[in-house]
Structure 1
Amino acid sequence: MQSENKSYEGIISNVSSELIERLKKIKHVALDMDGTIYNGSTLFPYTPGFLESLKNAGISYSFLTNNPSKGIGDYLQHLEKMGIPAVAEEMYTSPDAVVVGFDSTLIYSRLCRAAWWVSQQLPYMATNPDWVCPTDQPVILIDCGAICACIEGATKRLPDIVLGKPDPRMLDGILHRQGLQTEEIAMVGDRLYTDVKMALNANALGVLVLSGEATMDDVAASDVKADVIAENVAKFGELLLAVQQK
């Protein structure tokens, strides 16, 4: 590396000497799924090569999702159909003992009933704060955060607790299973307010990819500042491996 600040193609910032030292410590990459490695049922073409490059470099990885509407087996099958083999130990979801979560079968009467129970001061939990779920179809998939906003409008009450990202405890399973410290994990995702915010809350490396929800306009408007902003996971992989193999 010729200087303390070097630009990498596809990376939306210069790489400082401090960031280089943090990247050198990374032993594990925690990956958001939809919008990061695929979009709906469409695998990003660079994902297989990115995962293979991590393996070849001795960097392990796992998959995290804030969407508990499917079981781990369903997600493994979804990945398998797209040509990404994975095992249950590599998959982490937000806890499923919740009141509000992503629900593609939600109907008006159930929403009204949920709002009534919330107004009666029953314990109120949400699986995640995501407003929408990424998709490759011409539709907006309303996610948990938007449902909670609807309930808040009717009841003036927020969830007592929001599980999953950005709660830093979402990384506890990876830390324990892999025997890692938080500074040895890079959390990669397409959302500032969940993926990157969780990384910052946990003192992990927060990597934003622009392949899903977030745009550079969102970056400019947000108080959540990613450590690295990359065009996609492949570009982040190039940076990570360039630093670690130097």
Structure 2
Amino acid sequence: MDKNTFTDCYSPLAHEELMTRLAAIRHVALDMDGTIYMGSTLFPWTKAFLAKLDALGIGYSFLTNNPSKNIDDYLHKLEGMGIGVPRERMYTSALATIDHIRTHHPEAKRLFLLGTPSMIAEFEAAGFESAPATEGDKPDMLVVAFDMTLAYPRLCHAAWLAAQGIPYVATNPDRVCPTDRAEVLVDCGSICKCIEYATGREPDVVLGKPDPGMLTGIAARYGLQPSEIAMAGDRIYTDVATARNAGSLGVLVLSGETTLETALASDPGPDLTARTLREFGELLEEARQSRP
């Protein structure tokens, strides 16, 4: 399909190759904000898309770079939208950060967590101690996240800690969080840039998407090959890049942050660009029906 004649979907792959790759999909990893809902509004096609996956025998998980809510918060939000899922189908960048610290910094117990109370509770439930923003206090590690409760003194303390050289991890690289409100929600990547401008220090590690860890975890959990997983989301630099880094199919939906112009100009671009999950689901169904 010519990029200039985009209607509902575009892929740089030949149609036959696209159908072959879609027919192999056994699990879809779904971004949340901008993909299945926008802010507090569920997209009208989301439930039908999930029902189609069930009908096709395709599993799915929800992946989000937004660490501002803990797993229980997300499950409660989804339940309020009429979507009931078990805990094992949810994976957030906060959980990815907890896993990373346990693996790579097992000695770290006291953390300064620049994040929401909900996220801090997630870390405390995992056995970490949340260090206060006390002048001169140096915990084992600095963790910076998407913090909608950000207070200036805590930001200044985080910057001081970064300047001290202690291990420093960011939960996700997102510049903004998608929203249905008339404002810009400054996300973790922008907060880290503020700290970098003040101190010259970047995070040692930036977790969440596009790090492939979430998808490799799904592959291990369900006994899948990377090529059997599709990652669907509204961002090229996180969702699509995650799929590319993991060797999975990258699907961009235009229901969130990314515009059509940006999508078509991207190089490398998504394996598939669709207006919404509805169109992606129709292609998955077509691919299944066309299998010999």
Q: CA RMSD in A?
A: 1.6
1:12 and 1:231 in contact (8 A); partners too:
no
How far residue 221 of structure 1 moved from its aligned partner, in angstroms, is: 4.6
Measure the CA separation in 2 of the matches of 1:186 and 1:203.
10
Match of 1:11 in 2: 9
Is the CA contact (8 Å cut-off) linking 1:210 and 1:231 kept in structure 2? yes
Contact 1:196 1:224 (8 Å CA) reproduced? no
With over 3 angstroms needed to count, the CA separation of the structure-2 counterparts of 1:9 and 1:54, relative to structure 1, is farther
For 1:96 and 1:125, the matched residues in 2 are separated by 8
Q: How do residues 1-246 of structure 1 correspond to structure 2 at under 5 angstroms?
A: 10-13=8-11, 16=14, 17-94=16-93, 95-97=96-98, 99-246=143-290
CA contact (8 A) 2:176 2:187 kept: yes
Task: Check whether the contact 1:8–1:239 (CA below 8 A) recurs between aligned residues.
Answer: no
CA distance in 1, matches of 2:46, 2:286: 18
Cα distance in 1 for partners of 2:266, 2:249 equals 17
Range that drifts further, 169-178 or 76-85: 169-178
Deviation at 1:52, TM superposition (A): 0.3
Q: Structure 2 unaligned runs (5+)?
A: 99-141
> Structure 2: how far apart are the matches of 1:178 and 1:217?
36
- TM-score, reference length from structure 1: 0.93
Map of 2:126 onto structure 1: none
**Structure 1 ranges of 4+ moved more than 4 A:** none
**SS of 1:99's equivalent?**
strand
Aligned-pair identity (%): 60
TM-score, length basis structure 2: 0.79
The Cα of 1:160 is off from its aligned counterpart by 0.5
- Residue 170 of structure 1 deviates from its aligned partner by 1.4
Q: Which moved more, 1:91-100 or 1:193-202?
A: 91-100
2:28 touches 2:231 (CA, 8 Å); kept in 1?
yes
**Deviation string for 1:32-61 (max 9, x for gaps)?**
001000001100001110110110010111
Aligned-pair distance for 1:219?
Answer: 2.0
CA deviations over 1:1-27 (Å, ceiling 9, x no partner): xxxxxx995103465122222111100
- Once the two structures are overlaid, the 10-residue window that deviates more, 165-174 or 178-187, is 165-174
Cα distance, 1:167–1:14 mapped onto 2, change above 3 Å: closer
Give distance in 1, aligned partners of 2:97 and 2:207: 9
Aligned residue for 2:201, secondary structure, equals coil
After superposition, the C-alpha distances for 1:168-226 in whole angstroms (9 at most, x for unaligned) are 11113211221111000000000001000000000000000000001123224534410
Partner SS for 2:143: coil
Larger-gyration structure (1/2): 2
Please list the CA deviations of residues 134-182 of structure 1 after superposition, one character each: whole Å capped at 9, or x if unmatched.
Answer: 1111121111001011111111221100111111111132112211110
CA distance, structure 2, for counterparts of residue 40 and residue 65 of structure 1: 13
CA contact (8 A) 1:189 1:195 kept: yes
Moved more, 235-244 or 166-175: 166-175
